[in-house]
A and B are shown apart, each in its own frame.
Chain A
Amino acid sequence: MDGVRQLTQAYSQAPWRKQLQILGLFLLVVVLAALVAGIYLNVTARAATIGREILWMQSRIEDLQLENSDLETRLAMVNSAAVMEQRALAMGFQPLGRDDVTYIVVPGYVSRQQAVIAPPPKPVVVVANLPADYTESLFVWLEERALPAVQEWLEVFP
């Protein structure tokens, strides 16, 4: 037994062994630190990239809003009364006179509707408050209503 113990002690306390342990520990710390740094760098880089993309998209949204507004107005310009009249005349149409009109009955005809640009405001939703009798559970009823009633009864008639 002593021989084995001496051998183990000698082996475990060998200088090269101790140096190896220290070096191993140091490398472990370095590797862990590098791993954490790597993960942090990766996450940070991805966050920064996405942040940049968000900034770019916000800028793009602004550009598109400008473009939409611009296109709507330009569309209105090419459909303006004066332009449409010119185009109609160029295509051979004539202004309609009072005597040129023939009126007929069209069953189910829906006359021209006024502009609806957006939906009407949402109606105010009134949430009906149901009595607790319809919503509370049996246990809640026992705890909050039945037991206090029993306690009161016991106080009155001990």
Chain B
Amino acid sequence: MKGENIWRYTLLGTVISVLALFIVWQTIRIQLNPEMVDKFNAQAAAYARPAKTIYPARGMIYDRWGHLLAGNTTVYQVGIDLNRVENPHSIALTLNVVLGLDYDEVRKAASQEPSKDQVYAVVDDYVTQEKIDRLEELSREIENTYTQGRDEEPHSLEGLVFQPHLQRTYPENALASNVLGFVGRDEDGNIRGYFGVESKYSDLLAGQPQTVIMPNDPNLVEELPEIPDGASLVLTIDRDIQTAMEETVDRTLSNSGAESVTIVVVEPKTGDILAMATTPRLDLNKYWNYENIFEGSTPFNRAISQAYEPGSVYKVLTMAAGLDSKAVKPETTFVDTGVFEIGGTFIRNWNWGAWGPQDMQGCLQHSLNVCLAWIASQIGPKQFYEYMNAFGIGRPTGVEMAGEASGRLKEPGDEDWYDADLGTNSFGQGVSATPLQMAMASSAIANDGKLMAPRIVRSIISDGYQSNHDPRVVGMPISAETAHTLTEMLARSLELEASDAMVEGYRVAGKTGTAEIPTPYGYTSNATNASFVGWGPIPDPRFLVYIWLEKPTSSIWGSEVAAPVFADVVEQLVVLMNIPPDDVRNALFSQ
């Protein structure tokens, strides 16, 4: 070793020793400081084993035949990785052209210097696959075509990042929108369902998000836990019937000049809701238009959320109570003098006329308020309201949709109940119910006296298995004999009246209703609610239809605006449900 090199080796050794000592000292210093230990441990864990929250795909919603009503499509979040940006101008210009974003805003975002707090900027979300394809195509073109751009910077979309995720999509757009509801973000940015089954089953459909550790070290990689998708639902809705009913609702709205039209189709034996069509409806893929379409206090689904005084369709319930309690028989005669006094109030008929001697058939056929008020007085308030409760009036049906209204049934003992209410309630005044409540109550008459729970969700598919909801009997307000008798009386009423509700070849039972609309000053409005409830084909009904026209202007009478709609609906239903005419059916069954 030459003498002149010794100092060099000494210096190098000293430097290395000092560095080594510094490292040892720093190691000891960190080890002796618990706060620093925690901090570095956390940093190391965050880098080596980052946590990722996995959100399961939201469950699908199908109609009863398996047609998809609500699914998911892939959309993209568009962001900028600030560390990789080469040309903010190219990114801003491209996003301006393809996505219509503001050039200045995007350029400002892309020009940010990456910092400890920000290395990524989100510029757009819910971008469709088509637009992402276009962006990727442009990126390739720029890469292949341009070498130099403005400011002598090469054109480049480097740094533009597309993150895929799922978005709720409704293939049928506005079909059954009032039943389905929609999915949006709440004030905290969380995804949740609004209205309908999307809201009622929001947690179940969303599934259970799980946070998993995904180590960057490939030697530590673990199998990801199986995170099941959210549960899927099979509804009782029939897509074809729903489509036909919505078209009928729109046609009726246009022809009648009504403010709204609602049609509910129920299968009496099971309580299945086959269709629930109302106005207005919302294209669920553009749910942000909700506030423009449902202005003010307009309910999302009138069939379950808007209670109204149903008027004379309610008489079927009063007559059912009268017959079942033996207060009257079909042949009981009532002499209609045109007025009936009850609780100090004088009840009069719809035409203020006196109809003379009438049996119960006549009372229904001519829809006599006086007669029905008398029947209610014969039943007595206690028993009358027991029957109404048994029919489910005044309380929610429990249908599996969000936002159901309960309606109102004043009863003896309530502060605002008076003796006169018994008389007015008997013909559907002073009592409010939703179309669905009225449909379900009436379906008990069509179903041998058995009241079914309304069923909108037929099956739930969870963890790969399909569990069916069985039809549920919730009561038996009247006997089967009463139900058959009343059905026959109602069918005969339509035939004797030569009602517009009748359909050639099919025997149906039904009742019209025309109800005055209460105002803060009493029944002072000329507007009415026109309704019709009917079922068929009797004696073995496959469907029950409830129709409500709110404030029709072409005619105020249910018999003129609602009854023809019933016939129209039945003509479509018998085709869609493969129901042969009575004579054909009888001939086929007799073979």
Contacts and interface: CB of A to CB of B under 8 A. Distances in A.
A120 to B, nearest CB: 6
Contact of A55 (B73, B166, B218, B458): B218
B191 interface: no
B575 A120 contact: no
Contacts of B221: 51, 54-55
B465 interface: yes
A16 interface: no
Contacts of B240: 81
Given A81-B240, A96-B575, A120 B57 contact: no
B62 A70 contact: no
Interface in B163-220: 164-166, 169, 171-173, 175, 214, 217-220
B465 A44 contact: no
B485 to A, nearest CB: 29
Contact of B73 (A50, A73, A79, A85): A73
A101 interface: yes
B72 A69 contact: yes
B67 interface: yes
Interface string A85-117: 100000000001110010101000001101111
A111 B577 CA distance: 11
A51 B458 contact: no
B394 to A, nearest CB: 33
Nearest to B239: A81
A96 B578 CA distance: 11
Contact of B219 (A51, A69, A111, A118): A51
Contact of B461 (A82, A105, A118): A118
Interface in B119-176: 129, 164-166, 169, 171-173, 175
B588 A73 contact: no
Interface string B448-473: 00000000001101001111100000
Contact of A65 (B57, B574, B578): B57
A55 B224 CA distance: 10
Contact of B71 (A58, A66, A76): A76
Nearest to B506: A98
Interface string B554-573: 00000000000000000100
A69 B62 contact: no
A47 interface: yes
**Interface size range on A against B:** 35 or more
A141 B37 CA distance: 62
A48 interface: yes
A58 B224 contact: yes
Given A51-B221, A73-B73, A98 B505 contact: yes
A70 B467 contact: no
A54 to B, nearest CB: 5
A122 B465 contact: yes
Interface string B533-556: 000000000000000000000000
A73 to B, nearest CB: 3
B173 A69 contact: no
A104 B86 CA distance: 73
A118 B574 CA distance: 30
B466 A119 contact: yes
Interface in B509-525: none
Interface in B210-248: 214, 217-221, 223-224, 232, 234, 239-240, 243
Contacts of A66: 74, 164-166
A131 B575 CA distance: 61
A19 to B, nearest CB: 25
A105 B588 contact: yes
Nearest to B69: A76
Nearest to A73: B71
B293 interface: no
A67 interface: yes
A69 B65 contact: no
Interface in B45-78: 57, 60, 62-68, 71-74
A62 to B, nearest CB: 8
B166 A117 contact: no
Contacts of A116: 66, 466
B218 A48 contact: yes
A47 B466 contact: no
A3 interface: no
A117 B461 contact: yes
A158 interface: no
Interface in B71-103: 71-74
A7 interface: no
A73 B62 contact: no
B72 A103 contact: no
7 contacts: A55-B218, A70-B73, A76-B68, A77-B171, A117-B461, A120-B466, A122-B465
Closest 3 CB pairs of A and B: A51-B218, A115-B66, A73-B71
Interface of B: 57, 60, 62-68, 71-74, 129, 164-166, 169, 171-173, 175, 214, 217-221, 223-224, 232, 234, 239-240, 243, 458-459, 461, 464-468, 503, 505, 571, 574-575, 578, 580, 584, 588, 591
Interface of A: 44, 47-52, 54-55, 58, 63, 65-67, 69-70, 72-77, 79-82, 85, 96-98, 101, 103, 105, 111-112, 114-122
Given A54-B223, A81-B243, 15 more contacts: A51-B217, A55-B214, A65-B57, A70-B129, A80-B175, A81-B172, A81-B240, A82-B172, A101-B580, A111-B578, A115-B63, A116-B66, A118-B461, A121-B465, A121-B466
